Amino acid sequence: MARADGIERLLAGDGGDELFGGNTQYALQRIFGWYQVAPAVLRGHLLEPVLRQPSSSRVRLLRRASGYVTQAKVPLPDRLQMFNLLLRLGIYEVLTSGFVNRIDTAGPARDQREVWAQAGECSAINQLLAFDWRYTLAQNDLPKVYGSTALAGVQVGFPFLDEALLDFSQQLRSDYKLKGLKLRWFFKEALRGFLPDAILAKKKHGFGLPFGIWATRHAPLNRLARDTLASLSGRGIVRADFIRTLIDQRVAEAPGYYGEMV
Protein backbone atom coordinates (compact mmCIF):
# COMPACT_ATOMS: atom_id res chain seq x y z
CA MET A 1 0.00 0.00 0.00
CA ALA A 2 2.87 2.36 0.77
CA ARG A 3 4.49 1.57 -2.56
CA ALA A 4 1.21 2.17 -4.38
CA ASP A 5 1.06 5.62 -2.75
CA GLY A 6 4.51 6.45 -4.06
CA ILE A 7 6.36 5.88 -0.79
CA GLU A 8 9.87 4.58 -1.44
CA ARG A 9 11.30 4.52 2.09
CA LEU A 10 9.77 3.58 5.45
CA LEU A 11 11.07 3.92 9.00
CA ALA A 12 10.79 0.95 11.36
CA GLY A 13 10.74 1.04 15.16
CA ASP A 14 12.71 -2.17 15.67
CA GLY A 15 15.42 -2.00 18.29
CA GLY A 16 13.88 0.37 20.83
CA ASP A 17 12.87 -2.43 23.18
CA GLU A 18 16.20 -4.20 22.87
CA LEU A 19 18.25 -1.04 23.52
CA PHE A 20 16.21 0.43 26.35
CA GLY A 21 14.59 -2.57 28.07
CA GLY A 22 11.06 -2.56 26.69
CA ASN A 23 10.06 -6.21 26.37
CA THR A 24 7.71 -7.62 29.03
CA GLN A 25 9.98 -10.67 29.12
CA TYR A 26 12.61 -8.60 30.94
CA ALA A 27 10.34 -7.81 33.88
CA LEU A 28 9.09 -11.40 33.96
CA GLN A 29 12.62 -12.81 34.15
CA ARG A 30 13.45 -10.40 36.96
CA ILE A 31 10.51 -11.83 38.93
CA PHE A 32 11.83 -15.35 38.36
CA GLY A 33 15.28 -14.17 39.45
CA TRP A 34 13.94 -13.18 42.87
CA TYR A 35 13.51 -16.84 43.73
CA GLN A 36 17.22 -17.50 43.34
CA VAL A 37 18.12 -14.90 45.97
CA ALA A 38 15.61 -16.24 48.51
CA PRO A 39 17.25 -18.07 51.47
CA ALA A 40 18.11 -21.66 50.55
CA VAL A 41 16.55 -22.93 53.77
CA LEU A 42 13.23 -21.31 52.86
CA ARG A 43 13.33 -22.73 49.34
CA GLY A 44 14.56 -26.25 50.05
CA HIS A 45 13.02 -27.05 53.42
CA LEU A 46 9.72 -25.20 53.39
CA LEU A 47 8.41 -23.94 50.07
CA GLU A 48 9.42 -26.73 47.70
CA PRO A 49 8.34 -29.64 49.96
CA VAL A 50 4.91 -28.05 50.38
CA LEU A 51 4.50 -27.56 46.64
CA ARG A 52 5.50 -31.18 45.94
CA GLN A 53 2.51 -32.46 47.90
CA PRO A 54 -0.17 -33.93 45.58
CA SER A 55 -2.86 -31.88 47.34
CA SER A 56 -1.19 -28.62 46.30
CA SER A 57 -2.36 -29.10 42.71
CA ARG A 58 -5.97 -28.71 43.88
CA VAL A 59 -5.39 -25.22 45.31
CA ARG A 60 -5.12 -22.55 42.63
CA LEU A 61 -2.67 -20.33 44.53
CA LEU A 62 -0.38 -23.27 45.30
CA ARG A 63 -0.65 -24.50 41.71
CA ARG A 64 0.48 -21.08 40.45
CA ALA A 65 3.28 -21.02 43.02
CA SER A 66 4.41 -24.44 41.86
CA GLY A 67 4.54 -23.25 38.27
CA TYR A 68 6.56 -20.24 39.33
CA VAL A 69 9.08 -22.33 41.24
CA THR A 70 9.38 -24.83 38.38
CA GLN A 71 10.31 -22.08 35.95
CA ALA A 72 12.46 -20.10 38.40
CA LYS A 73 14.68 -23.14 39.03
CA VAL A 74 15.57 -23.41 35.33
CA PRO A 75 18.62 -21.25 34.58
CA LEU A 76 18.71 -18.71 31.77
CA PRO A 77 18.71 -18.89 28.82
CA ASP A 78 17.01 -22.33 28.95
CA ARG A 79 14.10 -20.81 30.87
CA LEU A 80 13.20 -18.70 27.83
CA GLN A 81 12.29 -21.87 25.95
CA MET A 82 9.91 -23.38 28.50
CA PHE A 83 6.88 -22.54 26.35
CA ASN A 84 8.51 -23.75 23.15
CA LEU A 85 6.01 -25.99 21.36
CA LEU A 86 8.60 -28.66 20.58
CA LEU A 87 9.74 -28.90 24.19
CA ARG A 88 6.27 -28.81 25.74
CA LEU A 89 4.76 -31.44 23.45
CA GLY A 90 7.89 -33.50 22.86
CA ILE A 91 10.12 -33.54 19.80
CA TYR A 92 8.96 -37.00 18.67
CA GLU A 93 5.33 -35.88 19.04
CA VAL A 94 5.86 -33.13 16.45
CA LEU A 95 8.71 -34.26 14.20
CA THR A 96 9.13 -37.51 12.33
CA SER A 97 11.57 -39.98 13.86
CA GLY A 98 13.52 -40.10 10.57
CA PHE A 99 14.09 -36.35 10.70
CA VAL A 100 14.93 -36.26 14.42
CA ASN A 101 17.52 -39.00 13.96
CA ARG A 102 19.33 -36.87 11.37
CA ILE A 103 19.62 -33.69 13.45
CA ASP A 104 21.35 -32.55 16.61
CA THR A 105 18.39 -31.89 18.91
CA ALA A 106 20.67 -30.39 21.56
CA GLY A 107 22.22 -27.95 19.10
CA PRO A 108 19.82 -25.00 19.51
CA ALA A 109 20.10 -25.00 23.31
CA ARG A 110 23.88 -25.30 23.09
CA ASP A 111 24.09 -22.38 20.66
CA GLN A 112 21.87 -20.24 22.88
CA ARG A 113 23.99 -20.94 25.95
CA GLU A 114 27.11 -19.92 24.02
CA VAL A 115 25.49 -16.66 22.92
CA TRP A 116 24.31 -16.07 26.49
CA ALA A 117 27.85 -16.53 27.80
CA GLN A 118 29.32 -14.12 25.24
CA ALA A 119 27.85 -11.15 27.11
CA GLY A 120 30.34 -11.86 29.89
CA GLU A 121 30.11 -10.31 33.32
CA CYS A 122 27.28 -7.80 33.19
CA SER A 123 23.89 -7.12 34.74
CA ALA A 124 20.99 -9.50 34.15
CA ILE A 125 19.09 -6.98 32.04
CA ASN A 126 22.10 -6.28 29.81
CA GLN A 127 22.62 -10.00 29.32
CA LEU A 128 18.99 -10.36 28.22
CA LEU A 129 19.35 -7.40 25.86
CA ALA A 130 22.50 -8.84 24.28
CA PHE A 131 20.74 -12.17 23.84
CA ASP A 132 17.83 -10.46 22.09
CA TRP A 133 20.15 -8.51 19.82
CA ARG A 134 21.21 -11.84 18.34
CA TYR A 135 17.94 -13.77 18.28
CA THR A 136 15.08 -11.26 18.33
CA LEU A 137 16.68 -8.63 16.11
CA ALA A 138 19.41 -10.16 13.95
CA GLN A 139 17.77 -13.53 13.31
CA ASN A 140 14.06 -12.75 13.45
CA ASP A 141 12.66 -9.21 13.31
CA LEU A 142 15.14 -7.53 10.98
CA PRO A 143 15.15 -10.26 8.31
CA LYS A 144 11.33 -10.26 8.44
CA VAL A 145 11.11 -6.49 7.92
CA TYR A 146 13.86 -6.38 5.31
CA GLY A 147 12.31 -9.27 3.40
CA SER A 148 8.76 -7.97 3.37
CA THR A 149 9.73 -4.43 2.33
CA ALA A 150 12.07 -5.75 -0.35
CA LEU A 151 9.24 -7.79 -1.84
CA ALA A 152 7.28 -4.55 -2.21
CA GLY A 153 10.23 -2.63 -3.62
CA VAL A 154 10.40 -0.29 -0.61
CA GLN A 155 13.53 0.67 1.34
CA VAL A 156 13.50 0.66 5.15
CA GLY A 157 15.51 2.49 7.79
CA PHE A 158 15.92 1.72 11.51
CA PRO A 159 16.46 4.94 13.52
CA PHE A 160 16.74 3.10 16.82
CA LEU A 161 19.64 1.05 15.48
CA ASP A 162 21.75 4.08 14.65
CA GLU A 163 25.25 3.32 15.94
CA ALA A 164 25.43 6.48 18.05
CA LEU A 165 22.16 5.59 19.76
CA LEU A 166 23.34 2.02 20.28
CA ASP A 167 26.57 3.27 21.88
CA PHE A 168 24.58 5.63 24.09
CA SER A 169 22.30 2.86 25.31
CA GLN A 170 25.30 0.78 26.34
CA GLN A 171 26.47 3.59 28.62
CA LEU A 172 23.19 3.77 30.53
CA ARG A 173 22.95 2.33 34.01
CA SER A 174 21.11 -0.98 34.13
CA ASP A 175 18.36 0.39 36.37
CA TYR A 176 17.68 3.10 33.78
CA LYS A 177 16.55 0.37 31.41
CA LEU A 178 14.54 -1.74 33.85
CA LYS A 179 13.73 0.19 37.02
CA GLY A 180 12.13 -2.30 39.36
CA LEU A 181 9.56 -3.79 37.00
CA LYS A 182 9.13 -0.60 34.96
CA LEU A 183 10.06 -1.22 31.36
CA ARG A 184 12.04 1.27 29.28
CA TRP A 185 12.25 3.70 32.22
CA PHE A 186 14.90 6.06 30.82
CA PHE A 187 13.33 6.19 27.38
CA LYS A 188 9.99 7.26 28.85
CA GLU A 189 11.47 9.77 31.28
CA ALA A 190 13.54 11.35 28.50
CA LEU A 191 10.34 11.98 26.53
CA ARG A 192 8.23 13.17 29.45
CA GLY A 193 6.78 16.57 28.59
CA PHE A 194 7.34 15.88 24.88
CA LEU A 195 4.93 12.98 24.48
CA PRO A 196 1.51 13.02 26.20
CA ASP A 197 1.40 11.26 29.57
CA ALA A 198 -1.29 8.94 28.19
CA ILE A 199 1.23 7.62 25.67
CA LEU A 200 3.98 7.15 28.25
CA ALA A 201 1.69 5.41 30.75
CA LYS A 202 -0.21 3.11 28.40
CA LYS A 203 0.31 -0.62 28.69
CA LYS A 204 2.58 -2.33 26.20
CA HIS A 205 0.91 -4.53 23.62
CA GLY A 206 2.16 -6.35 20.57
CA PHE A 207 1.05 -6.32 16.98
CA GLY A 208 0.16 -9.99 16.76
CA LEU A 209 -2.85 -11.07 14.76
CA PRO A 210 -5.51 -13.43 16.17
CA PHE A 211 -4.57 -16.06 13.62
CA GLY A 212 -5.81 -18.99 15.68
CA ILE A 213 -9.30 -17.54 16.00
CA TRP A 214 -9.42 -16.60 12.33
CA ALA A 215 -8.25 -20.07 11.30
CA THR A 216 -11.20 -21.67 13.13
CA ARG A 217 -13.73 -19.33 11.52
CA HIS A 218 -12.37 -18.65 8.04
CA ALA A 219 -12.25 -21.71 5.80
CA PRO A 220 -9.82 -20.31 3.18
CA LEU A 221 -7.29 -19.40 5.89
CA ASN A 222 -7.70 -22.83 7.44
CA ARG A 223 -6.98 -24.45 4.07
CA LEU A 224 -3.94 -22.21 3.58
CA ALA A 225 -2.54 -23.34 6.93
CA ARG A 226 -3.13 -26.99 6.09
CA ASP A 227 -1.55 -26.70 2.64
CA THR A 228 1.47 -24.85 3.98
CA LEU A 229 2.13 -27.29 6.81
CA ALA A 230 1.51 -30.21 4.48
CA SER A 231 4.70 -29.27 2.65
CA LEU A 232 6.63 -29.93 5.88
CA SER A 233 4.94 -33.29 6.17
CA GLY A 234 5.69 -34.16 2.56
CA ARG A 235 9.38 -33.47 3.14
CA GLY A 236 9.41 -35.85 6.10
CA ILE A 237 9.95 -33.16 8.73
CA VAL A 238 6.66 -32.82 10.65
CA ARG A 239 4.35 -35.75 11.38
CA ALA A 240 1.17 -35.69 9.30
CA ASP A 241 -0.97 -36.84 12.23
CA PHE A 242 0.39 -34.02 14.38
CA ILE A 243 -0.57 -31.43 11.75
CA ARG A 244 -4.12 -32.77 11.65
CA THR A 245 -4.38 -32.73 15.45
CA LEU A 246 -2.82 -29.28 15.64
CA ILE A 247 -5.31 -27.67 13.25
CA ASP A 248 -8.42 -29.71 14.02
CA GLN A 249 -8.11 -29.86 17.80
CA ARG A 250 -5.35 -27.86 19.47
CA VAL A 251 -5.95 -24.53 17.68
CA ALA A 252 -9.62 -24.65 18.70
CA GLU A 253 -8.66 -25.41 22.32
CA ALA A 254 -6.05 -22.65 22.67
CA PRO A 255 -6.17 -20.42 19.56
CA GLY A 256 -3.73 -17.84 20.93
CA TYR A 257 -0.89 -20.26 21.68
CA TYR A 258 -1.28 -22.89 18.99
CA GLY A 259 -2.42 -20.40 16.36
CA GLU A 260 0.84 -18.56 16.74
CA MET A 261 2.76 -21.81 16.45
CA VAL A 262 0.95 -22.65 13.20
pLDDT tens-digit series, residues 167-206: 999 999 999 999 999 999 998 999 999 999 999 988 877 7
In a domain, 33, yes or no: yes
In a domain, 252, yes or no: yes
pLDDT above 90 (res 19): yes
Q: What is the pLDDT of residue 131?
A: 96
CA dihedral 73, 78, 84, 90 (to 10 degrees): -80
Interior/surface letters 180-190, b for 16+ CB within 10 angstroms, e for the rest: eeebbbbbbee
Give the confidence band of 41 by pLDDT, cuts at 50, 70, 90.
confident
175 and 69 within one domain: yes
Domain of residue 43 covers 9-76+91-207
In a domain, 2, yes or no: no
Query: Rounded mean pLDDT of the chain?
Result: 91
111 and 139 within one domain: yes
- Could you give the CA distance from residue 9 to residue 7 in angstroms, rounded to a whole number? 6
Nearest to 5 by CA among 191, 153, 198: 153
126 and 51 within one domain: yes
In a domain, 116, yes or no: yes
Q: What is the pLDDT of residue 196?
A: 95
60 and 13 within one domain: yes
- Residue 204 DSSP code: P
Q: Residues 19-37: what's their mean pLDDT?
A: 92
In a domain, 41, yes or no: yes
In a domain, 1, yes or no: no
225 and 118 within one domain: no
In a domain, 136, yes or no: yes
241 and 133 within one domain: no
Number of domains in the chain: 2
Which tens digit of pLDDT belongs to each residue from 195-235?
999 999 888 777 778 889 999 999 999 999 999 998 889 99
pLDDT above 80 (res 110): yes
Beta strand spans in the chain (E) = 9-11, 155-157, 178-179, 182-183
